[in-house]
Structure 1
Amino acid sequence: MLHIRDVRIDKEEWTVYEQIGFAVSCMLHNTNYSLYPVLTIQYWTEYAIQHNQIKFLFDTRGFPLAYITWAYLEVDTETRLINDPDFRLHPSEWDENGRIWIIDFCCKPGFGRHVIEYLLRLRPWGRGEVRWLNRR
């Protein structure tokens, strides 16, 4: 039985840098992320952390297993996200009280299905239809 936790027993709140470290830990196990420059990692995660729009999942030993980030986008921001492959959210665009968009999802290989099922039950982004865009 796979055990996934959305909290660690030792601590309930973490600094921005600890959370960036969790994200890096997840990325190192995933070839889609492991070759990206370190600066982009902070850029992708820091605004989500500042807006409390990131959720980490841990294994039973307390090691980071996955993370997901989301934003609440208005139509004009959605349009730029969809049409511009180089588009990056400005800090003010993370919470526009719009529709829910998954911005990033990173998971240790082999755990994706279980993690997604867990996140769908947990719904850290709240209620409503969720959208995402695959750029691979």
Structure 2
Amino acid sequence: MKKFLVSIFLIAAVGTGASAQNEQGGNQRPRMDRSEWVKRRTEMMVQKYGLDEKQAAALKELNEKQMMPRGNGQRPQRPEGAPAPRPEGQQGPRPGGNWQEMQKQYNEELQKIMTADQFKAYTEDMEKRRQERQNRQGPPQW
């Protein structure tokens, strides 16, 4: 009887563990590949800021240029004997380059594509999103 109960328990544990290993993770949306991300971002900006076809083509090219230099999205493995990760709060250069510098270059190119009114609406939206992100961050809610 004892062996039977242990067997049932093990079967249930293995079944539960196997079902928890699905790639999508339950409620999570599937990750978009880079070309899909570029397409969606371009379509959203064209619709939101009323860009014409010429502007849309230039924006798509800019989004592709911004997105493609990045790696495959996975962190590189640390080689044997490499130093340990830095303590919390200490940051060093990132492999993808300086994010603020990349964003600044993107905005400069985007300003050449958009009209003054369109770019003003874009910068206001980005500032609003930045404020919302800052408001979400804070002390943990225990």
Same fold, TM-score > 0.5, yes or no:
no
Larger radius of gyration: 2
Q: Which structure shows the higher strand fraction?
A: 1
User: What is the TM-score when the length of structure 1 is the normalising length?
Assistant: 0.35
User: What is the TM-score when the length of structure 2 is the normalising length?
Assistant: 0.34
